[in-house]
Structure 1
């Protein structure tokens, strides 16, 4: 996705969707991995489990 985003920067004015969709997918992927990590930490960390 990063390569797709980089290749479309010079044509951003004519085709804005070529920049928007890879950017959205990168953002959603990062947020998903972050939420999965938080959930795993909450489930597996014994110090948090007692709260």
Structure 2
């Protein structure tokens, strides 16, 4: 099965003719990382007793 990293790497050969081969997997990585960061921040805000004043 292809991974996002492999899809991005394979798409770099076609950037001039078909940039979406790399753009869509790159956006998937971007949004996944952003979602996990926001989830972690939210969990920290809820569960960290030091932050609640």
Structure 1 runs of 4+ off > 2 angstroms?
Answer: none
* Residue 11 in structure 1 maps to residue 14 in structure 2: yes
Please identify which structure carries the higher helix content: 1
Q: How many residues align?
A: 50
Q: TM-score, normalised by structure 1?
A: 0.90
Note the residue ranges of structure 1 that are not aligned, 5 or more in a row. Answer: none
Pick 1 or 2: higher relative contact order, CA cutoff 8 A, min separation 6: 1
Q: TM-score, normalised by structure 2?
A: 0.87
Note the residue ranges of structure 2 that are not aligned, 5 or more in a row. Answer: none
Who is 1:32 aligned against? Answer: 35
